[in-house]
Amino acid sequence: MIDVVWTISELEQFSAQDRPGVLIDVLRASTTMTTAIHNGARAVVPAASIEEALRIGNSIGRDNVLLCGERQGVRIEGFDLGNSPSEFTAGVIRQRTIVMTTTNGTRALKLLSGASPVFIGAFVNLRAVARELSRAERDPLIVCAGLDGRVSVDDALCAGMLIERCLKKRSKRAGAPELGDGAIAALALARQQGTVSVDFLRDTAAGQALERVGLGEDLALCAKVDSILEVPILRDSQITRLELAEQTADGVKRK
């Protein structure tokens, strides 16, 4: 059964064990992580708190990492980058290890650690994530990071559009997957909206919060459906590109 949790507080009602997990935090953690991996970051190491990010940074070596993240949307004091996808250009982050802490996204990711594999999903890489999920033997648990414990409709729309794509891929095979109620609701939202737009994102609580701190331009980058072909995957506490992770784990590159 494909399940969607609309807020992380629901997570304890679901088992993530031994099934694929997808973390969705459209505004902006999962969009930014995906952008970082696409632009050649060596790895993104998620940290649940500022203290943990500093600890990880110091243990790797402060000069060897970029400390990134936000609180209230704004770059954390003393950190190298905030959480805007536009900051994570190839020139800045190629071959760098990024230690990232965000208000909701990296915390939610920590809670998904029982799932296997754990993918990072956003509008920017919907098709790529759907492709990976269609290869998996078990149905996924899709986790919307939400906003401070509340629903984020941008995450829910992204989850619904992801399910729609998974269903299209699956309909070519025998048997449609069962959907939990969270998945049915997300799919209904996606079918009603059709797709995402910058205006849709601007009306959400997370979109308004970004506008308030002068980061409204990020919305256009976060709304770019299928602009990125990579699927970031969390393994051994760090996020890398799927192909790279598999090369390391299996010694073979997947076609």
Binding site for ligand MLT (CB under 6 A): 25, 27-29, 70, 73, 83, 102-105, 145
- Residues listed for the chain: 255
Nearer to ligand MLT, 2 or 53 (CB): 53
- The single-letter code of the amino acid at 32 is T
Phi, psi of 12 (to 5 degrees): -65, -15
The least CB distance from residue 175 to ligand MLT, in Å, is 36
CA 220 to chain centre: 17
CB of 73 to ligand MLT, least distance (A): 4
Taking the complex as a whole, the smallest distance from the CB of residue 247 to ligand MLT amounts, in Å, to 29
The least CB distance from residue 61 to ligand MLT, in Å, is: 25
Give every CB contact of residue 119 below 8 A, 6+ residues apart in sequence: 20, 21, 22, 23, 129, 132, 133, 231, 232, 233, 234, 242
| Amino acid letter, 98 | I
- Angle, in degrees to the nearest 10, between helices 153-170 and 126-135: 50
Distance CA 141, CA 76 (A): 31
Our CB check for ligand MLT shows the closer of 29 and 159 to be: 29
Nearest to 8 by CA among 107, 140, 102: 107
Which CB, 2 or 201, lies closer to ligand MLT? Answer: 201
Which is closer to ligand MLT, CB of 102 or CB of 204?
Answer: 102
Identity of the amino acid at 89: T
| Cβ at position 178, least distance to ligand MLT in Å | 30
Residue number, 39 or 103, with CB nearest to ligand MLT:
103
Q: Which is nearer to ligand MLT, 105 or 160 (CB)?
A: 105
CB of 148: closest distance to ligand MLT in angstroms? 8
Helix count and strand count (H, E) for the chain = 11, 10
User: Coil, strand or helix: which one is 156?
Assistant: helix
Q: What whole-number distance in Å separates Cα of residue 184 and Cα of residue 109? A: 23
Nearest distance, CB of residue 28 and ligand MLT, angstroms? 4
Rounded to whole angstroms, how far apart are CA atoms 200 and 233? Answer: 28
CB nearer to ligand MLT: pick between 73 and 140:
73
- Whole-angstrom Cα distance, residue 155 to residue 3? 14
